[in-house]
Structures are given as C-alpha cells and as structure tokens.
Amino acid sequence: MKIFFIFFFICFSNLCAEEITFLCKISEELENGKPAKKKNYEQTPIYLYLNKNEKWFNDVKKKEFINDEKDLTERVSFNFIEQKKNFLFRFFKYQTINKKKVESSSFIKFNKFDGYMSFLKTYYDINEKAFFTTEVKGICNEK
C-alpha cells in the first residue's frame, strides 16, 4: 500500500508541477517547407517549458518572456489547448498594440505519449503575407 501512495505522489506531483522542462533532440529542420540548408539544431537541442497553470508552452519560460520583453507584452497573444493526446500552443506577435496585423506566429504541437513535437514559426510582411517559415521536429524528453 505504501508503494502505491509513493508512486501516486510522484506521478501526481509531476503532473501538478508548476513547470516542466523538456529537452528536445531535433531530427528535422525545414525552411519554407523544404529541408534547411543550414542545420542550426543538429548538434544543439532545444528546451521547451510547459506550465499548465499559466497556459504556456514555449521555448522560453513565461516569467523570462515577461521580464525580458516588457515592451512586447501588449503586442502578443497566445492560447494553450490540452487535448487527450497533444498539447497545442499558438503564439502571435502583432505589429501594434491594436493586434490587428500579425508580425510573426509560432505553433507547437506536442504528443504527450511519445514526446514527438513540431515547432513552426512564421514571419509575415507588412501586408500579413507569410514570407518565411521555419519548422523543427523531434523527440522531447522530460528533463
């Protein structure tokens, strides 16, 4: 019985943890939908930070983003969705505080069961037409 409670406590405390860090080994890098010529993450993994309480899942911690990017906080929006199998996170950076024209966006899809993730960033011109995309895919493990 004690083993069950210890196991339950460990699992429950991890699920309710304020923030979970994932170390992601990148297996594929794309630019504008084609294999990237320069592999930026072939040797360097990326970190993703999940905070379900804050509805945040990104490559920068939410607290760090707010502290480091104070001038941007009024020009961004984001949403976090937890599905049965996936976490989805969308982040939009706008050209102005009116939030009418998107400057850049990112979309993270993370499979809870196998750790597979896709992280797409899109950059837009003044007319909101996508002019550049970058996407990394790989496997993440909890750090």
Give tens-digit pLDDT for 85-138: 999 999 999 999 999 999 999 999 999 999 999 999 999 999 999 999 999 999
Name the residue among 105, 99, 100, 130 with its Cα closest to residue 120: 105
pLDDT exceeds 80 at position 19: yes
Nearest to 79 by CA among 69, 70, 92, 67: 92
pLDDT digits (tens, 9 = 90+) for 40-69: 888 899 999 999 999 999 999 999 998 988
Give 1's pLDDT tier (boundaries 50, 70, 90).
low
Residue 122: predicted pLDDT: 98
Given a contact cutoff of 8 angstroms between Cβ atoms, the answer to whether 18 and 51 are in contact is yes
pTM: 0.85
Q: Please give the sequence-ordered ranges of beta strands (E in DSSP) within 16-101, or none if there are none.
A: 20-31, 34-35, 46-51, 56-58, 76-82, 86-94
For residue 30, which amino acid is it? L
Could you give the 3-state DSSP secondary structure of residue 111? strand
- The residues with which 82 forms a beta bridge, in sequence order, are 87
67 vs 141: CA distance, rounded Å: 27
**CA 24, CA 49: separation in Å to the nearest integer?**
11
Please tell me the distance from the alpha carbon of residue 15 to that of residue 125, in angstroms, as a whole number. 40
- Report domain extents, the chain: 20-142
Q: Which of 18, 81, 89 is nearest to 53 (CA)?
A: 18
**CB within 8 Å of 6: residues ≥ 6 apart:** none
